[in-house]
Structure 1
Amino acid sequence: MTSTTAVKTAQENLKIETGSRNFNPGTWTPFEWDDPIYGKQVKGEVAVIRTQGTSGTLMAGLWRTGPNIAGCEPDGTCHVDYSAPLGDETMVILEGSATVTIKATGKQYRLEAGTIISHPKDVEVCWDIDSPFLKKFWVIWDSPKQATKSDDVFVGNINDNPDVWSAYEWVEPNHGPQVCGELFMLRSTGSTGTLMCGMWRTGVGIAGCEADGSSTVPYTAPLGDETMLLLEGQAHVVNEETGEEYDFKAGDVIALPSGLNITWTSKGPFVKKFWIITSENLPT
């Protein structure tokens, strides 16, 4: 690879990719994969929103099942045996319901709209999806560096409201220590590299916010590539390297590459998002 090509590739990686939970391309693609345990599988169909990250293998998008969709029954029910061979998969159920069973233990989880489930790589599960339809937002992440092996899934809900949230503090390379909003973490380790996911919010009385609940901060996603589903409120993002501006509302998907200089503004009175941060670097 020449130096010119390397620079071009790096620049292409540093782009904001966007979509929506309501994204509906003209053509959905059957979801096909080779499972080392169950062989070639074709179940449901996907629409890809995030195509890349700055490290590892990172993709995000939507997946759906229903009548006349690949691998589903005529009434829209669908049974899927899955061992997450492509990497850790973190999801939010947008519509529909299903029961997920851990093959090794028989433990079951009931998933409904709003459920968050993070499925570690190589953990065997089966999905029994109810009629007539299911739709989910997904992020698949993998890297060459082994991290923490898990034998169960991580489950939460976008409406979770723990008693204690933590102020979100981080260091921006060109701006120093920052404090903005508060978060709680659903998952702090991945099967490979670094994977963290949870909820973040800004609003009246929250750290780093103005009296009206708004906040504006410089941000480069220094901990890793960040993929977000905006749950409530509105946000404005400026790509400081290109001058492009974006306005986001609840339901939008935002994919930020680590290292891109942006300015993030949460509009008052309240913003809440589900986030996934991934990096090939192992957590310190």
Structure 2
Amino acid sequence: MSNGAVRRQNDETALQRQIEVGNRNYNPGNWVPFAWDDPKFGAQAKGEVAVIRSKGTGGSLQAGLWRTGIGIAGCEADGSCHVDYSAPLGDETIVILEGSVTVTIAATGKKYRLEAGSMISHPKDVVLSWDIDPPFLKKFWVIWDSPNPGTRETDVLVGNISDNPDAWEAYKWVEPDHGPQTCGELFALRSTGSTGTLKCGLWRTGVGIAGCKPDGSSTIPYTAPLGDETMLLLEGQVHMVNEETGEEYHFKAGDIVALPSGLKVTWTSKAPFVKKFWIITNEKVS
């Protein structure tokens, strides 16, 4: 292998192991029209995007913000927008941040009304339409694809960041250097991906919750062993340390965090509580 190829490989590895961060209010100067070739509808350009997560350790993984509104590509004069979409780039998992939309499944005519706080996971190749209300809409999105076939779905999965189901369960996992761990509780909106592995839902810590101190705080070693993790912090504050570099991060509600699988961090959920929306992806099928 040439020196140039080695450098490129090292650069690629370094990028994969970066912690990428952003915020729901991220407003760069270079929003880009979202243009794609849809196998069902041809060339499309609707809304504009800002990428926050550029890469994962496996498969194809990106995350960021998307918005529609007055003067934005593909939108009407009042900022409304109609989008026909089959998610050809991969499973797309979303939290609506601002605005409202009616989503219609093409095959069944089933409709979903989504507003700020709605969560929706759109399986790859499921054809649907978005009818976005004026004057604007903004969403947090994660698009994921793997070369390995997973579980095909025919409908979207929908919830809300304020959901409080009876099915919260203690989050248990195994850390390679620390053994079995239990911290916080979660529920899953989705547990399979159209390709590879995709899991998403809500996680929280607080008083009386597994693995937390009496004041609701918790500190854990974490390497995201189940796969790359992309998250939107919904409530509370977090202190995180990259144990490989010593870099420290302070997160609050609204922040977006992209962790590569295998990177050693120490995660501290501050008292009295923390809540996040999370998406875990892995090229392999679990």
Work out whether the TM-score is over 0.5.
yes
Mapped partners of 1:82, 1:7: distance in 2: 37
The CA deviation at 1:148 is: 0.4
Deviations 1:26-56 (A, max 9, x none): 1210000000110000000001100000000
What's the RMSD between the two structures over aligned residues? 0.9
Counterpart residue type for residue 141 of structure 1: W
Q: What is the DSSP-based 3-state SS (H/G/I as helix, E as strand, rest coil) of the residue aligned with 2:44?
A: strand
Q: Which runs of 5+ in 2 are unaligned?
A: none
The question of 1:78 aligning with 2:81 is answered: yes
Match of 2:210 among 197, 207, 210: 207
Deviation string 1:174-196 (CA, Å, 9 cap, x unpaired) is: 11000000000000000000000
Query: Per the alignment, in what secondary structure is the counterpart of residue 6 of structure 1?
Result: helix
Matched residue, 1:138 = 141
Partner amino acid for 2:266?
A: T
Instruction: Map 1:1-284 onto structure 2 (within 5 A).
Output: 2=5, 5-283=8-286
- Shift in Å at residue 96 of structure 1? 0.3
2:180 alignment partner AA:
P
State the distance in 1 between where 2:195 and 2:89 align: 11
- Match for 1:126: what amino acid? S
Q: Deviations over 1:188-242 (max 9, x none)?
A: 0000000000000000010000111000000000000000000000001100000
The alignment covers a number of residue pairs equal to 283
Return the offset for 1:64: 0.3
Question: What percentage of aligned pairs have identical amino acids?
Answer: 74
Unaligned runs of 5+ in 1: none
1:7, CA displacement in angstroms? 4.0
Counterparts of 2:219 and 2:19, CA distance in 1: 18
SS of 1:85's partner is coil
**Distance in 1 separating the partners of 2:222 and 2:96:** 28
Return the offset for 1:126: 0.4
Say which SS state the counterpart of residue 31 (structure 1) adopts.
strand
Residue type matched to 1:213 in 2? G
CA–CA separation in structure 1 for the residues paired with 2:245 and 2:202: 28
